[in-house]
Amino acid sequence: MAHITAGVEYGLHCLLWLASSPGAPLSSRDLADFQGISPSFVAKVFPKLEKAGIVTASEGIKGGYLLAKQPQDITVLEVVDAIEGRKPLFDCQEIRSRCAVYRERPPSWATKGVCAIHAVMLRAEKAMRDSLASQTLADIAGDLARKAPPAFSDDVRKWLVDRARTRTRGPAAEDGALP
């Protein structure tokens, strides 16, 4: 069964920090270093987010990524689909048509309509997609703001501003990728 990969988690964490730094482009390398994750992996995630219209890129020494939309307009489902592509949760193998007692020809009743197991999985996928579509980046940021002490946001902004200020080469030169 397909699942949501770490790329989505990395992407959402990075988007949270972009949401907390409106108007200030952040490099994928700085975002990766800040979170202790692989810069090359993060650099592969951002072009997908850009293609989906979730972020925009700016080049240069002070370049990086910005949110292309307001956090309340970015659903978790959009991020999942941007990074993973829209793939089904379940890939039905139509096992019902290969039952040994059918020999080589299953009766029409056995393969009529959607497989009962597949139907359960389709309902589960719809519920998951509906849930992810109902949650936004702003919702996650709100949860984080309620959990973290106020000084944490200040510390994060200071760290990111200091990194941007001391950057001597553009992010593309640093990690071989765009912002």
Q: Per-residue pLDDT tens for 104-148?
A: 888 888 889 999 999 999 999 999 999 999 999 999 999 999 999
Question: Against a cut of 0.75, is the pTM above it?
Answer: yes
- Predicted confidence (pLDDT) at residue 1 exceeds the cutoff of 60: no
74 contacts 15 by C-beta, under 8 angstroms: yes
Task: State the average pLDDT over residues 61-73.
Answer: 92
Task: Give pLDDT tens digits for 18-31.
Answer: 998 878 899 999 99
Task: Give pLDDT tens digits for 74-95.
Answer: 999 999 999 999 888 888 888 8
Q: Phi/psi of residue 56, each to 5°?
A: -125, 150
Across 32-36, 58-62, 79-83, least confident range: 58-62
Q: What is the pLDDT of residue 111?
A: 86
Between 36 and 176, the higher pLDDT residue: 36
Q: Phi/psi of residue 52, each to 5°?
A: -80, -5
Between 138 and 97, the higher pLDDT residue: 138
Between 53 and 106, the higher pLDDT residue: 53
Mean pLDDT of the chain: 88
- Predicted confidence (pLDDT) at residue 169 exceeds the cutoff of 60: no
Q: Over the range 132-157, which residues count as b (16 or more CB within 10 Å of their CB) and which as e? A: beeebbeebbeeeeeeeeeeeeeebe
d(CA 155, CA 121): 44
